[in-house]
Structure 1
């Protein structure tokens, strides 16, 4: 009864009119893998509970961070519940390296950065402007000069509101010059690495001390499927924790994996399974095709909006987020459109306030959606 109620009462992320959030329709092959993980229920807190799952996770977290850090010999990655946990871990690792780091982020940063600083007892982040949705480089330079270290700059590759990517190379240059560390939240944009057509947008990603990815966005995984990547395996040593009943010394001395150092959680699901199934079935080329088709649809939709005199386009999409609003309309009217469409069961659109104006937001994440169908709605 409850499953039926959930089915009838929930928006379907596969529907072309459901485009409010970074919420994807899961791949048909990833969903049953997630079901298998639930049925087998291995707990990823000790090797004896999950020997095959831990081997699979190791096999996954070896090549994935190498996509980001191709020039370091032993990059590593943790499987997380999503971008929020990955960002929290990034700040935690920076704190363990340097003490109470001062975080610097732009107004376009994900809310989890501020929440992580609060949770970890760090100073409140210095928030610099993000005119037109991108980190202001002049403001960043000023902040780096006028705040005492240790400093951690967090940049964004795929913002929640507009999908834009901060100027990563320029930001990395500034952090290098001013001896600050860099974390890049690429929860949305990170999977562009799989696409030869679009990976150039992530130039300089490898210069970050940590990178967040989220494969339940442009990876089409059932939530959750987050990743925190670091350039060196030893960057994760601060997470080590000892509980004799889970990682006894004789087990680790015998070479068994110490899974407690792979997360702040104790029991955790084998989320690596569905990701591995996806990569095994689709490979790089298959994922690249899904990503390329999705971005092409977003650009086509932007073209249709731009040619329609009754609609105003915010900007060309960087990834797959398209902002628009009716022309000659005030913010109050724009604000009423979204709940009206939702309450009528017609469409689920998001909203974003950019440049002091309210915009309707279509976040296209279904590779099978055609722009004509979206536009016709």
Structure 2
């Protein structure tokens, strides 16, 4: 079901012939926006303006109307604000070609020209694709150009952007005992018990990611106040890694390993954390071009960590296979005007516009 942005309304009483979107009060100017104490308010204002601009670019153009919150503001002297300008430029490479700005007393107007297919082949303006991929040690959200190429590849069944598979992706079934050094991520995944502060012999790569959790500092020592954040941290991190591994060539994610020292640290947790993480994975949106319509293929486990005296916690180990089609973290962040509302494209609508050039 499409999401409606209730913070943006269509102004039916305007003197302009174009479609006018009212985003409410906005603080403007570099200095004033930088000094805003309410960071959530600042974020909401940026989202409203960015979504309105995205919607107009995708809907034939129009005007964004904002009430200037800081009364001393002067556009010619103060500018707009770096965070707003960056959000504009992230939409399109030459977005300023489609924009004009004007201050009228305490009202700020952004005139948005009609936009059409650009040289990259993109059919739609998107704030964030919410499609991830893995590039060596980096987990990156695809930009519109990358997403278009990826989706076209998936639709045609080609492997233009694939990465060679490695032997490390195979999970052996006969390795279960402890050792002071673990040679491969697949061997590590097969463990049933780990030694505290022992080291792994593999590094982060296209196929492997390791992370400490918030109950430990950079040296692996406990931070008492952070224990309750462990599960939420993992639930926030898992979607982007599942999307990235599934959209590339699969891989492993380990929570509780120090990425720099390669030491096994673990974290304090409960066995039921596993069901919460698996629920998060099952809820990720997927799009199929194929007929099989398979679900995300993954394995997730908690491995006990011990020292000579006691149980020290767990490592959470996640193995994700390459997915047949596309795995999103959430629906794409792309907007249009439909009826009397500013609405978010559904994943299906967005993909039709991106790949086929069809209106959703």
TM-score, length basis structure 1: 0.21
Determine which structure has the larger strand proportion and give its number: 2
1 or 2 for the larger relative contact order (CA 8 Å, sep ≥6)?
1
Larger Rg: 2
Structure number with the higher helix fraction is 1
